[in-house]
Amino acid sequence: MEKIKVKVCQGTTCYVMGGDVVKSILDTLTEKYADKVEIVSVRCFETCHKQDSFSKAPFVYIDDEVVSSASVEKVINAIESKLSDE
Amino acid sequence: MSEELETRRLKREVLVRIIKAFMSDNYAENVRLIPYEMRPKGCEVPFRCCVYKERAVLRSRTIAGLGFAMEDDDERTLLSDFAEKALEREHPEPEPLTVLQNACKGCPSSKVFVTELCQNCVAKPCMKACRFGAISNDGHRSVIDSEKCKKCGLCMAACPYRAIVKTIVPCEEACPVGAIAKGEDGLAHIDKDKCISCGKCVSACPFGAPHAKSQVIDILKNIKAGKEVIALIAPALIGHLPCKPEQIQDAFLKIGFSAVYEVAQGADVTAKTEAKDFQERLENGAPFMTTSCCAGWNELVKKHMPEITPYVSDAKTPLYYTAEIVKKEHPDAVTVFVSPCFAKRREVLDNPNVNYLLNFEELGAMLIALGIEIDVCEEKEFEYQSSKEAREFALTGGVARSVQAAWKGEEGAVKPVVVNGLDKAAVRNLRAYAKMGKCPDGNLIEIMCCQGGCIAGNACLGSLKDAFKKVTDYGNKGQSLETERKIIND
Give the number of A-B residue pairs with CB atoms closer than 8 Å: 71
Residue B318 and residue B180 in one domain: no
DSSP class of residue A3 equals: P
**Distance in Å, alpha carbon of B444 to nearest chain A alpha carbon:** 33
By Cβ distance, the residue of A16, A21, A49 closest to B1 is A21
The CATH number of residue B129's host domain is 3.30.70.20
Containing structural domain, residue B478: 219-489
Report chain A residues whose CB lies below 8 A from the CB of B2: 21-22, 25, 72
Q: Which of A10, A15, A21 sits opposite B5 (nearest CB)?
A: A21
Q: Is B196:B303 a contact under the CB 8 Å cutoff?
A: yes
What is the value of ipTM here, to two decimals?
0.93
DSSP-based helix, strand, coil % in chain B, nearest 5: 45, 10, 40
Say whether B9 and A13 touch across the interface (CB within 8 A). Answer: no
Please tell me if residue A17 touches chain B, with a CB cutoff of 8 Å.
yes
Phi, psi of B82 (to 5 degrees): -60, -40
Same domain, B59 and B201: yes
Strands B135-137, B142-144: pairing is: antiparallel
pLDDT at site B485: 61
The one-character DSSP state at A57 is P
A45 and chain B in contact, CB less than 8 A: no
- Residue B113 β-bridge partners: B165
CATH number of A4-85: 3.40.30.10
Domain spans, chain A: 4-85
> Chain B: nearest CA to A17, how far in angstroms?
6
Identify the band that residue A36 occupies on the pLDDT scale cut at 50, 70 and 90: confident
Element (H, E) at B445: strand B444-448
Say yes or no: B243 and B129 in one domain.
no
Residues B379 and B407 in one domain: yes
- The Cα B95–Cα B118 span in angstroms is 46
Q: What is the CATH number of the domain that holds B403?
A: 3.40.950.10
pLDDT of residue B3: 53
User: What DSSP string runs through B125-157?
Assistant: HHHHH-SSS-EEE-SSSEEE-TTT-----HHHH
CB atoms within 10 A of CB B24: 11
List per-residue pLDDT tens for chain B, 490 residues long.
445 788 899 999 999 999 999 999 999 999 999 999 999 999 989 889 999 999 999 999 999 999 999 888 899 999 999 999 999 998 888 888 899 988 998 999 899 999 999 999 999 999 999 999 999 999 999 999 999 999 999 999 999 999 999 999 999 999 999 999 999 899 999 999 999 999 999 999 999 999 999 999 999 999 999 999 999 999 999 999 999 999 999 999 999 999 999 999 999 999 999 999 999 999 999 999 999 999 999 999 999 999 999 999 999 999 999 999 999 999 999 999 999 999 999 999 999 999 999 999 999 999 999 999 999 999 999 999 999 999 999 999 999 999 999 999 988 999 999 999 999 899 999 999 999 999 999 999 999 999 999 999 999 999 999 999 999 999 999 999 988 666 555 4
Measure Cα distances from B287 to B270, B280, B308, B418 in Å. 21, 12, 12, 16
Cβ atoms of B270 and B317 within 8 Å: the answer is yes
Q: Does one domain contain both B154 and B92?
A: no
Report the number of distinct structural domains present in chain B: 3
* Residues B249, B202 share a domain: no
Residues 6+ apart with CB under 8 A from B63: B70, B73, B79, B82
Give the distance from residue A86's alpha carbon to the nearest chain B alpha carbon, in angstroms.
Answer: 30
CB–CB of B447/B430 below 8 Å? yes
By three-state DSSP, how is residue B88 classified?
Answer: helix
Considering the entire predicted model, what is its pTM? 0.93
Shared domain check, B347 and B310: yes
Q: Name, in order, each residue with C-beta under 8 angstroms of B376's C-beta and a sequence gap of 6 or more.
A: none
Q: Decide which of B148, B167, B186 is a domain's last residue.
A: B167
d(CA B470, CA B464): 10
Domain boundary among B214, B248, B277: B214
Produce one character per residue of B236-257: b if its CB has 16 or more CB atoms within 10 Å, e if not: bbbbbbbbebebbbbbbbbbbb
Say yes or no: B1 contacts chain A, CB-CB below 8 A: yes
